A and B are shown apart, each in its own frame.
Chain A
Amino acid sequence: DAGITQSPRHKVTETGTPVTLRCHQTENHRYMYWYRQDPGHGLRLIHYSYGVKDTDKGEVSDGYSVSRSKTEDFLLTLESATSSQTSVYFCAISESGASTGELFFGEGSRLTVL
């Protein structure tokens, strides 16, 4: 199994509070991704990173920010959580990018915003 750890695995928070989800990898892969999974929508890309301090937005980036100060860690921050951000969040890593390389997924972080 790919060495990907997401934390926390479960979190319940209130509207307006900040939340940070952490993705930690032990594979030294260059690419890291944050997706959210919602019924009927599959997985949608929030942000991704192609190296330390190099990040870019995905299709559903509004309300989210990311940081990558080390190869192994990719943080997703909700500055002020809203109920529409209740979802399951998946981190993924890839050695060469999704074009030819496989994405390895973490086990997900379930976030509930009340």
Chain B
Amino acid sequence: AQSVTQLGSHVSVSEGALVLLRCNYSSSVPPYLFWYVQYPNQGLQLLLKYTTGATLVKGINGFEAEFKKSETSFHLTKPSAHMSDAAEYFCAVSAYTGRRALTFGSGTRLQVQP
């Protein structure tokens, strides 16, 4: 079974500051890891994903995440926050074997202050 823990349900940063959203996972098999973003009153859309290969993954809107197996982490970063980044962010995990569904973390709401 897989699980995801997102540290911090709310994160507030100033515009132009570094964004760091934390995600730790648990998986008994090699994981596939995802970050999704949800804007108000919308569905989720994929930011980036790690399946195999390079552990530093670049996504849309300037976000990136690094898979660290030794730390069981997949933290999301962006060097400079923009007002439009304000949204809720979800980390998710799946495995190649078994159920082909995602297990989500509880989410982190990012607030960007002017």
- A residues lining the B interface (CB < 8 Å): 4, 31, 33, 35, 40-45, 48, 50, 56, 58, 90, 92, 94, 96-100, 102-103, 105-108
Give the CA-CA distance A94 to B95 in the complex, in Å: 15
Where chain B touches its partner, the secondary structure class is loop
Q: In the complex the two chains form, is B100's CB within 8 Å of A98's CB?
A: yes
Q: In the complex the two chains form, is B96's CB within 8 Å of A99's CB?
A: yes
Q: In the complex the two chains form, is A98's CB within 8 Å of B101's CB?
A: yes
Interface size on B, residues (CB 8 A): 24
A106 to B, closest residue via Cβ: B43
Of B9, B90, B100, most A-chain CB atoms within 10 Å: B100
Give the CA-CA distance A94 to B34 in the complex, in Å: 14
Q: In the complex the two chains form, is B102's CB within 8 Å of A98's CB?
A: yes
Give the CA-CA distance A107 to B45 in the complex, in Å: 10
Min CB gap A74→B, angstroms: 13
